[in-house]
Amino acid sequence: MDFDQADAVNQAIRLLSLRHRARIAELLAPHGLHPGQEALLLELARTGPMIQAQLSEALGVERPSVTLMARKLEAAGHIRRSSAPGDQRATVVELTDGGRALTDQVKQLWCVLAQETVAGLSAGTVAELPGLLRTLARNVDTRHPHRRRDDAAPGPRPEDPPA
Amino acid sequence: MDFDQADAVNQAIRLLSLRHRARIAELLAPHGLHPGQEALLLELARTGPMIQAQLSEALGVERPSVTLMARKLEAAGHIRRSSAPGDQRATVVELTDGGRALTDQVKQLWCVLAQETVAGLSAGTVAELPGLLRTLARNVDTRHPHRRRDDAAPGPRPEDPPA
DNA sequence: TAAGATTAGTTATGCGGATAACGTTAGGCG
DNA sequence: CGCCTAACGTTATCCGCATAACTAATCTTA
């Protein structure tokens, strides 16, 4: 692939990341939330009480990130944390009543955001979009590297220019 | 749009952002660069010397972010900063020779990354991808809000800001 | 020309997210 | 049983990116 094409792809992904996150921030700000926190709340609403390690896995972020976010959401009263029965290492996280109410609000914003995002696209494109994006994400996933058949042997590239 | 569909879209975008950036970090690390810095270098390589304000605009990030990144890239010797002739406020940023060489390396990584990202997609899909992603980004752009529907009068607002 | 608004840049601070190093608890297995 | 390893969580530190508040320079314009 030539550079211009690669740049178009990479830059578009970068820009989308930036803008989408910025819009999330804007929508979340009135509720006192920051981008990333909504994902944690939504995951708890979806799956119910869970261990921080599971949250880390589900959210696709590292464990220290979960620790800090969870601490702040707990301080804000949105979630509750307690040590897991039967495993003193683990910490169970769950929504409080207030957190559940807040999450209901967030769900609304989530719909607003998605609708804004796909404005002007055909229904077919919208339907295919999540699958397409997930494919892209999976292709560059470094947490759960899955075998892509061709493309690259695990070793270094055939030629390395720094000479 | 119902929540499940919205969630699929938003979460896919979030995941792609996270993974794509993580992969960039992995590719850039051997060169001592962090994600975001490569965009600055590539922009300078593309457009030539420019003012930080223009960089901020081109990169889609705020000015303080440019200040800090530029400071670090300057400290690393990749770029040079000098006050603009004819405007004492402005700071011209340009690649050093070393920076240009590094950027050539980065261009290679950029191609590798894009190729990984679109692995398994048809040529047609790949061709349409940048346009699609840019549409999404534009739809949620808060920096250059463009009127999607008529929604707001383009000219002066009906109500005046605090006088 | 002098006053006000605009623009460029910086500093301070906060958040999400990453890695590295550490302490603690569980579990596997001689 | 005791040891060693793995897993969970936390702390510390770094970076990108954001907003708010500030200085300094430029442009308007009255």
Span B76-135, pLDDT tens digits: 999 999 999 999 999 999 999 999 999 999 999 999 999 999 999 999 999 999 999 999
Residue B118, class by beta-carbon neighbours within 10 Å (0-12 exposed, 13-18 middle, 19+ buried)? buried
Residues 6+ apart with CB under 8 A from A10: B20, B24, B110, B113, B114, B117
**Chain C positions with any atom < 7 A from a protein CB:** 7-13, 15-21, 23-27
Is residue A153 pLDDT above 50, yes or no?
Answer: no
> Distance (Å, rounded) from C-alpha A78 to C-alpha A126?
32
User: Is the pLDDT score of B149 beyond 60?
Assistant: no
Nearest to B87 by CA among B128, B130, B52: B52
Confidence of residue B148 (pLDDT cuts 50, 70, 90): low
CA–CA separation, A142 vs A147, rounded Å? 11
Query: How many CA atoms, within 13 angstroms, populate the side-chain half-sphere of residue B63?
Result: 6
What would the pLDDT profile of A27-68 be if each residue is shown by its tens digit?
999 999 999 999 999 999 999 999 999 999 999 999 999 999
Give the pLDDT of residue A154: 39
**What is the nearest CA distance from A77 to chain B, expressed in angstroms?**
24
Residue the block writes with tokens 């759960």: A144
* Higher-pLDDT residue of A34, A158: A34
pLDDT over 90 at B162, yes or no: no
Q: Is the CB of A65 under 7 A from strand C?
A: yes
Contact A134 B12 (CB under 8 A): yes
Q: Is the CB of A107 under 7 A from strand C?
A: no
Nearest alpha-carbon partner for B110 in B23, B9, B48: B23
Rounded to whole angstroms, the distance from the CA of residue B65 to the C1' of nucleotide C13 is: 13
Q: What average pLDDT does this structure show over A14-33?
A: 98
CB B69 within 7 Å, strand D: yes
Q: What is the pLDDT of residues A139-151, one digit of tens each?
A: 999 988 876 544 4
Q: Does residue B77 sit in helix, strand or coil?
A: coil
Q: From the CA of A109, how many Å to the nearest CA of chain B?
A: 10
